[in-house]
Amino acid sequence: MNPFENTLKQLKSHFDSGLTRPLSWRLNQLQQLQRFLTENEKSLLQALKSDLNKHPSEARLTELQFLQSDIKQTIKALPKWSKPRKVGNPLLAWPATSQLIPEPLGAVLILGAWNYPLQLLLAPLIAAIAAGNCAVIKPSEHATATADLLAHQLPDYLDNAAIKLVTGSVTESQQLTALPFDHIFYTGGENAAKAIMASAAENLTPVTLELGGKSPAVVLADAPIQVAARRIIWGKFLNAGQTCIAPDYVLVEDSVKEPLIAAMQHELISFYGEDPQHSSDYGRIIHQQHWQRLTQMLEGENVVVGGDSDKSERYIAPTIVDGVKDGSALMQEEIFGPILPVITIKSAADAIEEIRRHPKPLALYVFSNNQRLLDLFTQQVSAGNVCYNDTLMFMLNDELPFGGVGRSGMGRYHGKWGFDTFSHLKPVMTRSFRFDVVLRYPPYSKLKDKILSWFSH
Q: Reduce the DSSP state of residue 122 to 3 states and report it.
A: helix
Q: Is 299 a catalytic residue?
A: no
Q: Where does residue 339 fall: left (phi above 0), alpha (psi -120 to 50 degrees), or beta otherwise?
A: beta
CB 76 within 8 A of CB 133: no
What ranges make up the beta strands (E) of 155-312?
163-165, 183-187, 207-210, 216-219, 249-253, 302-305, 309-310
Q: DSSP state, 60?
A: I
Q: Is 301 a catalytic residue?
A: no
Q: Reduce the DSSP state of residue 431 to 3 states and report it.
A: strand
CB 334 within 8 A of CB 185: no
Amino acid identity for residue 409 in this structure: G
Q: Where does residue 411 fall: left (phi above 0), alpha (psi -120 to 50 degrees), or beta otherwise?
A: left
Distance CA 2, CA 62 (A): 36
Helix (H) or strand (E) holding 108: strand 107-111
Amino acid identity for residue 306 in this structure: G
Tell me phi and psi for residue 379, to 5 degrees: -80, -30
Q: Reduce the DSSP state of residue 402 to 3 states and report it.
A: strand
Q: Which residue of the set 210, 253, 267, 334 is catalytic?
A: 210
Distance CA 273, CA 296 (A): 25
Residue 91: CA count within 13 A, CB half-sphere: 8
Distance CA 299, CA 307 (A): 10
Distance CA 453, CA 457 (A): 7
Tell me phi and psi for residue 409, to 5 degrees: 140, 175
Q: Which residue of the set 134, 244, 253, 387 is catalytic?
A: 244
Distance CA 213, CA 217 (A): 13
- What is the distance, to the nearest Å, from the Cα of residue 293 to the centroid of all Cα atoms in its chain? 23
Distance CA 128, CA 134 (A): 8
Q: Which residues are marked as active site?
A: 210, 244
